[in-house]
Amino acid sequence: MRNHLAGFGVLAALAGSAITLPALAADMPIYHKAPPIQPHYAPVPVMLFNWTGFYVGGNLGYLWTNGSGNATVGGVAGPVRGDGSGFVGGGQLGFNYQMSSIVLGAELDFQGSGASGTVSGGTLPVVYSGTSKMPWFGTARGRVGYAFDNWMLYATGGVAFGETRVSGFSSNFGAFSGKANFASWTLGGGLETALYGNWSVKGEYLYLGSPSKVPVVPTTTSLSGSTSTHLLRTGVNYRF
């Protein structure tokens, strides 16, 4: 009898354990496998080109000019005409400063010129004709540009300076020659693009107004008129 009671006690204890274990299991925390860690990469910033800095370069272009007016030579008044064209080449140096998309700058250039043409005028009995040349000229200009990455569209303007020469034959004087240094104004614009490294290339147009002084035929007592000069050129710059 005692052995039977002991057996019932063991069975009761086992039954109680079976009832208690699920309850304990319900109260235990459930652990889940953590997802793999994904690497996080910060976005790489897009670096836009910056035009700020000094530069030097060279250029090659073509110039054409024409003019007309009136002159009094040897006491006789009459019309005067002239035109010319030719290739030019030279160098430039400048500086740019970029603020957001706006680029402010200044540029100085000096050109050698093969441009030449003809000049003629007068009224019988005083007439003359000859050859005109502009062996050199230069400009000093400001620039205002709008940059979109490595491209820049710009307007430019300032002063022009140089030398003109004339030689020929006058009916009242014979052979003549002369030269004069001049100053004028210039306006224009261009497009420049940066290449690999520190190099950039540009295309540019300039208009030069009437010169302040021109060489004249001997015995000229008055001269009036206007001259317009156009310049197309391409250039390359190295930026520091």
pTM given for the model: 0.80
Q: Give the whole-number percent of the chain exceeding pLDDT 70.
A: 80
3-state SS, residue 101: coil
Q: What is the per-residue pLDDT across 8-22, written as a single tens digit (0 to 9) for each?
A: 444 344 444 444 444
In angstroms, the CA 224 to CA 240 distance is 46
Per-residue pLDDT for 87 more than 90?
yes
Q: Output the pLDDT for position 89.
A: 98
**Residue 49 is which amino acid?**
F
The pair of three-digit structure tokens given for residue 177, joined into one six-digit string: 């020659």
Q: Strands, DSSP E only, in 100-198?
A: 102-113, 116-123, 126-148, 151-170, 174-194
Burial of 225 (0-12, 13-18, 19+ CB in 10 A): middle
| Beta-sheet pairing, 220-239 with 76-99 | unpaired
Q: Render pLDDT for 27-70 as a digit per residue (tens, 0 to 9).
A: 555 555 656 666 655 555 455 789 999 999 999 999 999 999 99
In angstroms, the Cα distances linking 168 to 36, 78, 165, 174, 216 are: 92, 17, 11, 8, 11
In the chain, the domains with their CATH numbers are 53-239 (2.40.160.20)
Quickly state the pLDDT bin for 219 (edges 50, 70, 90).
very high
